[in-house]
Structure formats: C-alpha cells, structure tokens
Structure 1
Amino acid sequence: MAYGKLTLRDVAIALDLSLGSITYGYDFSIISTTVGQPSWYAYMGLTTDATSPNYSFSNSMLDTVFGLFSAGAIFGGLFVGWYSDAHGRQKALLIGNLINIVGGALQAGSAHIGMFIAARFITGFSGAMIVTLIPIYIAEVAPPAVRGLLVGQHGAFFLVGYTLAAWVGVGSYYSPNTAFNWRFPLSLQVLWPLLQLCVLVWLPESPRWLVRQGRSDEAWRILARLYHNPSDAQQLFAREQFFQIKAQCEADQAAYGDVNYLDLFRKPHFRKRTLIGTLVMWASQANGAIVIYSNIVVLVAGLGFDNAESLFLAAGWITLACVGNFANAYYLDKLGRIRSLMIGITGCVVCVIIEAAIVANYGGSDNKSALSAGVAMLFLFICFYAGFVDTTVYVYCSEIFPTHIRAKGMGWSIAVFFLSTLPFLESSATGFATIGWKYYLLFIILPSINVVLLYLFCPETKGQSLEEIGAFFNDNVAVRLTHISEEEKRALDERILAEQTIINGQEVSAASNPADSEKTPKVTI
C-alpha cells in the first residue's frame, strides 16, 4: 500500500475480508425473502391472512424473528470488542465465522418457530462479531488517503450479500419443493463463512494491534510488506507509518494505561467519541431504512402487487442498493463523511414524506399511477440511503476511536446500531397493520433532528491518519504526518531515518530497506 495509491495487495486484502461482509449481509437479508415464502408460513404454523384468528400471533412471531437477530447482535458486538483486543483481529474473526456456520445450519434445519428464533439469535451474535471486525481490520492496514474507499468495501460487499439473498429467494420461490423454497436459501448462510475461513490464514494480523501488544517486530514486518514501494529506496512511507503508530501507542499507554468498556463513558476524550458513534449509528437506523428493507416484500405487496411481483421488486431494490453502496465507497474520500451523511439522510426524509402521502391516499387502491409512484419513492429512498449513508457509518465509526480502544468503541457502536433497530423491527409489522401510513411519521421527525445534531457535533475525518484523528477529541497527537509543511515533513523524515528500526528483537539501521528479504522475512498477504 503506497501512500495515496491503490495496489493489488490493497484490493486482495479488502476482497478477502469482504467475504465477512457478504456473510453478514446474507445473514441479515435472507429473512426478508424467507418471510415472503408462503411455504415458510405454512410450515411454521403462521399466516398472512388478516382475517385469521392466528394473524396477531403471526405478526408477533415475525417481530420476534427480526428482533432476536438484533438482540443477538447487540451481545455479539460488545463481546467482540473485548475479545479482539485480548486475542487479536484474526482469532476473533475465526471464532465469529465458526459460530456463524452453526447459526446458519440451525436455521436451515429448523423444526419449529422456536428453534428458528433461537438460531436467528445465534446468527445475529456472530454476524455482529464479523460486521464489527471487518471495518476495524481494513482501517488498521489502510493508508489515510484511500481509507474511505477501502473500508467502504465493507459496506459495499454486505450489500452484495443482501443482493445474493434477494435473488436466491426469488429463484427458490418457483421451486415445486416447498421445503426447498426456504431451507435452501437459509442453508447458503454457511457458504460465505466457510470461504472466509479458507482465506483467513493468508491475511496479516493488524499491525496496530501488534504494536499495542508489544510485538513491534511483527508489526514492522507486516507494514514493510504492506507499504513497500519499489520506487522509494528508503521506504519512507512505511517508516513514517510505523514511527507514528509506535509513538502514538506509547503516548496513549502512558496517558490512559489499560482501558475497558467503562472507560468509554468515564474518560472525557473517549466519552465524546462514544456519544458521536452512538449518534451516527442511531441516525443511520432512525430514518426508516431498516423497516423498509426488512418489510420491503410486505410493503410492495401492500401497494397492490402479488407475491411473485413483490419478490422481484424487492430483489431489484436491493440490487440498486448494492450499486449505491459501491458508489458511496468510491467518492467518500472526496465528499467527506459528515457531508455524505447529511445529504443522504435529508434525501431519505423527502422520500418518506412523499411515500407516506401516497400510502395515505392511494394504499390498497387500483390507481396504478399512484402505486407505481409509491414503488418509485422506495427506490429513490434507497438511492439516498445506499449512496450516502450505509457505507459511511462503518467507515466513520472505525476511524474515530484510537487503537487501544477501537475494537471496544466499534463494538459499542455496532451494539447501538442493532439496539436502534429493535424498537422499529419489534413494532413495524404491528405498526403498519394498525396505524398504516402514520407509522412513517417517525421517519420524518427523527432524522430531521439527527441531521442537525450531525452538523453540530461530528468532526470531519477524511484524509487524516487514524492517529491524527485524535486531535479532534483533544488527544495528544505524538507525530503528525499529514497537514504539515514541507519543511516540517523533511525534518520529520530525517529524524525517522536517523532512528533505529527494531526487527526480530534486534536493532537494525533505519537506513536499510524494510522490504529486504534478508532483514525482513516475507509475510504472506
């Protein structure tokens, strides 16, 4: 990874890690098409018939199916924050994938609704472990200039998982085998974590985590390979990054010592970050995206389309979201994190206002023009959400916490993300069934408030190294590499080259080439 320049190694690492993003996306998304399969309702003893005496119970079970995934994810996000700090990013990702395989297998083999709900809880727990780790992992190996693009692949690829789940659900709908209709799509949940386990051994451990553990020689070897630039004999970028990471970790250790979850709230520097992470994740869910996505098949059906048409439209909606997330990742380093969030959420509010008006006046009618406009608003909504919000929140929350508390901070943020979904997922089916279009008012009022809060309290982080972002939160930045004069940069490089680099526990002249195979053993990446 050369500074500001993408390499094939960058792409390979991001794509390998993005298998975890697909895992989470598929896990989360597959339930949306599962509840669109009549055979699943029949097997589980549920109904979509509003005149049935079992209708209220069915809605309650649907809310629980959605809610227990989020509940499991809250615990998974908090658990991985501790586990990955204690045992490393690689080992935590291994454990998350293994648990995920168990959860997916149990869903596919569910004998009754209780077993299915329990399996969704397990899958939610492991899915949150994975969705927390991937952006941290990528952020801790990415150079500042392209960090948004690389971490953004996480958001883009979990939409690939969404899209795969949507189209697999559509294809399975037409099978004459009623068990295949829903068991096969659910069984594919085990494929993506299995694939990630196959490539995990080739991925490097986070050099920042290694430095934090006092394993600087291993961190240096990895950075030397990651940032090797054949046109730079002195390998200044690799040396600068190692120098800054090591200096900042030492400064943070001296200032804060060992930290735990309570420190997220006790220490002012961390508390500000925690509140901002909470706001960003809450804002990403309080605009209706989670409700619209989880109920997209039902919402489209409510506009007058049959089951097959609803599944096709839902799959098309998710496919458009996938394109939007890739676009979001592409221009995030240019547009900026907070500006992107504000544009996206504001656009979502406008779409929800129009959608609510259409549903209020034409829902359930035969007015094709109005119903088509309702579907169009749902598609325009996802353009704003996917194009400006969905990827951005993971990038931003993985950046604002310092190395020694990043996993815990990101774990907390993911827990808030899923906690924010609970009141909406638990109430959405009942809400739409009882108060109809008025339920949309939540997603007009809440995000309007959130846009103002984002503008007032959230600093922009684009272009800054992870260590330098601490300046926005009144941290002591040990070494600055960006936004300094040429003279300051030259003096810093002279200082770095004059110091000693520690490799394999021995002091080696910093003037030597860090990618020299005789001094620096190669790391498979």
Structure 2
Amino acid sequence: MERYSRKYTIQFGALIQIIGGALCAGSINVGMFLAGRFIVGWAIGILYTAIPVYQSEMSTPATRGFMVSMHGIMIAIGYLLSSWIGFGVYFITANGSDSSFPWRFPISFQIVPAILLLVGSPRLPFSPRWLVQKGRYEEAKEVLRSLHTLKDSDDHTISNREFDQIRQQTEADLAVKEHTTWYELVRTPGNRKRALIAVFLFWGNQMTGNLVIANYGTIIFASLGMTGYMPLLLLALWIVVSVGGNTICALFLDRFGRRNFMLVGIAGMFAALLGECITQAVSVNNDPNSNIPGKRAAAFFLFLWIAFYSSCQDGTQYVYLAEIYPNYLRGQGTAFGIFNLFIASIVVLVAAPTAFSTIGWRFFIVFIVPTFFYFWIVYFMFPETRLKSLEEIAELFSESVAVHLDEANAEDEKTEGVSMTENVSVSKDGATTKQETV
C-alpha cells in the first residue's frame, strides 16, 4: 500500500476477490471451493485495510467521520444483500430441489460489487498524502483543490493551507520512515498506545458478540422457538436495522464525536446483552410453545443490541483506526488493527457452535463481562479525534505537529523580505521537533 498507493491496492483487492469468487461459484470439488475461499479471504483483508485508509486521507476533518463510516454502511449493505438472497433461495431447497443454484448463486453474487469497484476505480484520484510522500506535489495540490471545490476561494487558500500542513508533516515523518519497520508499531510510547488501542478496539468489539450473532443468528432465533423460514427472515430484518444504524453513525459521528459514540454504544450493548442473557435463561427450553413472551423479549434484545452496535460501533471502529496513525505508519497500523479483527473473529466464531450446544444461554456471559471492561478501557484510554486533521491527531499521543492547519502558510504566502527555513529533527523516541531560522 505504501509503495504502490492506496488506489492500486484497492484495485488489486477487487481483482483478487473476483478471482476467488469465481473459483468458489464454479467449484467442482471441496478443494477448489476451499482454495477460492482462501483467495476471497485474502482479498477481504486487503480491502478492509486499504479502503478506510484511502477514505480517511481523502476527507476533511469535518467530514472524515461521515466518509469513513460509509465503509461500515457498505459492509452492512453487503450483509443485507446476502441475507435476503439467502432468504430467497431457501424456498428453492424447501421445495425439495437438488439444484446447486441455491448455493452457487449467493456465492457468485460477491463478484458483482468487486467488478463495479474495479471498473469504477480508475476515476478515483490518488491519496494526496501518498502523493506528497512520493514527492508528487503538483498532483497532490490538484487533488486537494478538487476536494475543496465548494468551500475553497479563488486563490485556493484552504487547499493550499492543507497541502502545506501535509507537506511539512510529511517532511518530519520521512525522517522517521527511512528507518521504519514493523517494529515501529511499538517502538515509541505514542505508537505503543496506538497499538494497544487497535487491539482493544477490535477485540473489544468482537467480544461484544458481533459476528457470533450475525453468523449464528438463525440458530439463536431457532432456539427461541422460531421455525421454518422465520429464523432467516428475522436475521434479514436484524441486518436491515444494521444498515439504518450505520447510516445514523455516518450522519452524526462528526457532530458528536467518536469517543461519545463508542461509550454510548458499549453501554447500550451491555444492557442488551444482559437482557438477552436473562430472558434466554428463563425462556429457552425444549418446548417451543412455552414462555412465548420471554422468547419474544429475547428476540427484542437481539434487535436492541444491533441498534446500538451498528449506530455507535460498526463504522466508528474503522474511522478511529485510520485516524490515530500518522501518515507514514497508517498503512501498517491499519493492517495491524484489521489483523486483530480477524484473529478475534476466528476465536469467537470457532468457539460459538460448541458453546451454544454445551452451555446455551450462558455463552452470553462470555460477552457481558468483556463488554463491561471495554467501556472503561475506552473511557480512560481512547482520546477524542473529532474535527482534528490527520496530522494534528499526533498531539493526542504526545507527539509534535510540524504545523497546525490554521497556522499553515501556502507557498505563495511567505512574508515579504523574510526568508524562513525549517530544520526538522527526530529524537530517538521518534518525536519530531522543528526549528525555524530567519
């Protein structure tokens, strides 16, 4: 991503997903299917990492929450399509058909958005921050001007100031990047805090039961006495709520802040999980016709949980991860965060079938306890990044900023008769300092 750009990385991920999806849909044996699934998983990892990075670097401080939250909305829409397609093809199998269409068509449909992304991506500009890192200043200026078309003045004051801030911060960062390895993720105190936040962010969200409910929702609804197509229908409706919640997140995240959204979301999910655990404990048994009100209450708490998760956590996690890392480390840092997302997902998803069959409703206690501690971790550890430029967020991690956006000078705004130069130095702990001489 750092070498070939965010744009080309996204295109590569889309191409890989098309190949993997085609292999899955056209599989003639288990080995071919597993190979296709492996390739699709690789593509998802690439896209999950590159897209939030690209979105964050193409956004202004005032719109970054909205823009990156679109990532969460699109993921939710993907789940929505898959759930309703699955609901539709259920009736083919329910009628006794032995056709392979009910499983080949849903799997092949993943190729459609990948093709749309690949075909439309040539129109996407390169990230201005990546262009500055590569010394392509004029291209970066043009991209920034196109992003500020509505608010910029005729002399491009706003875009020029942002360019100047990006350039000066990049010059400071490049002194660090010359020696950057993966060890840089934990080398300095600021980066160690970022790494811990990335770990807690994605492990915390997964330990609230996110993917367990999403992937085993039909089993959960069936345990509440739902039969026939009802578990599939309820899960599809559950995901409809997710799309609405992610839309709320995108619309209001920049207004109320990342930290406030996360705290409200975690508190709401904790209450919903507690209610789910209690109602399942008193209502779930071998008689589907017993304690119907209790089972309906349990279904309600599942919908309440996704309302809080989707509106406060789902999109926010991608926004926050892409924001906290400096330009020179954003690609690696985001990859590290997504790595934790996938590892946490594997742990809870592998454990879920056995847990549901052996301890039943008690499995929700496994999510309630971490969610309680997750709230306090966010409260004491996660700084607010709202309305700050990506370069200025470094201050939240006790690192210096080359220049603030409101102090940045465009190249043509230098003081007359005064020649000013800047010497950027980097200390052993990675902190940058700036000296100005006249």
**Counterpart position of 1:146:** 63
Q: How many angstroms does 1:120 deviate by?
A: 2.4
Query: How far does the alpha carbon of each residue in 1:434-476 deviate from its partner, in whole angstroms, 9 at most, with x for none?
Result: 1111111111101111111111111100000000000111222
**Counterpart position of 1:380:** 304
**Counterpart position of 2:42:** 125
**Counterpart position of 1:257:** 178
Instruction: Supply the distance in 2 between the matched residues of 1:499 and 1:410 (Cα, whole angstroms).
Output: 39
Instruction: Supply the distance in 1 between the matched residues of 2:162 and 2:109 (Cα, whole angstroms).
Output: 40
1:239 to 1:437, Cα distance in 2 relative to 1, 3 A: same
Residue identity (%): 36
What is the total number of aligned residue pairs between the two structures?
409
Q: How many angstroms does 1:131 deviate by?
A: 1.3
**Counterpart position of 1:324:** 245
Instruction: Supply the distance in 1 between the matched residues of 2:52 and 2:240 (Cα, whole angstroms).
Output: 22
Query: How far does the alpha carbon of each residue in 1:94-128 deviate from its partner, in whole angstroms, 9 at most, with x for none?
Result: 11111111221222233444543443222111111
Q: How many angstroms does 1:322 deviate by?
A: 0.6
**Counterpart position of 1:109:** 26
Q: Secondary structure at the match of 1:86?
A: coil
Instruction: Supply the distance in 1 between the matched residues of 2:369 and 2:152 (Cα, whole angstroms).
Output: 54
Answering whether residue 271 of structure 2 is matched by residue 371 of structure 1, we say: no
State which of 259, 272, 276 in structure 2 corresponds to 1:351: 272
Instruction: Supply the distance in 2 between the matched residues of 1:221 and 1:374 (Cα, whole angstroms).
Output: 54
State which of 63, 74, 82 in structure 2 corresponds to 1:157: 74
Q: Tell me which amino acid in the other structure corresponds to 1:182.
A: W
**Counterpart position of 2:413:** 497
**Counterpart position of 1:341:** 262
Answering whether residue 426 of structure 2 is matched by residue 426 of structure 1, we say: no
Q: Tell me which amino acid in the other structure corresponds to 2:72.
A: G
Q: Tell me which amino acid in the other structure corresponds to 1:246.
A: R
State which of 189, 192, 210 in structure 2 corresponds to 1:289: 210
What's the TM-score, normalizing by structure 1? 0.75
**Counterpart position of 1:223:** 144
- Which sections of structure 2, spanning at least 5 residues, go unmatched? 417-438
What's the TM-score, normalizing by structure 2? 0.90
Q: Tell me which amino acid in the other structure corresponds to 1:436.
A: G
1:443 to 1:496, Cα distance in 2 relative to 1, 3 A: farther
Q: Secondary structure at the match of 2:2?
A: helix
**Counterpart position of 2:163:** 242
Q: How many angstroms does 1:430 deviate by?
A: 0.9
1:226 to 1:421, Cα distance in 2 relative to 1, 3 A: same
Q: Which runs of structure 2 are paired with 1:12-31 in the superposition (5 Å)?
A: none
1:499 to 1:393, Cα distance in 2 relative to 1, 3 A: farther
**Counterpart position of 2:365:** 441
Instruction: Supply the distance in 2 between the matched residues of 1:499 and 1:156 (Cα, whole angstroms).
Output: 46
**Counterpart position of 2:422:** none
Asked if 2 retains the 8 angstrom alpha-carbon contact of 1:174 and 1:181, the reply is no
1:496 to 1:395, Cα distance in 2 relative to 1, 3 A: farther
Instruction: Supply the distance in 2 between the matched residues of 1:302 and 1:118 (Cα, whole angstroms).
Output: 33
Q: Secondary structure at the match of 1:201?
A: helix
Q: How many angstroms does 1:258 deviate by?
A: 4.0
Asked if 2 retains the 8 angstrom alpha-carbon contact of 1:229 and 1:235, the reply is no
**Counterpart position of 1:485:** none
Q: Secondary structure at the match of 1:388?
A: helix
Instruction: Supply the distance in 1 between the matched residues of 2:327 and 2:399 (Cα, whole angstroms).
Output: 13
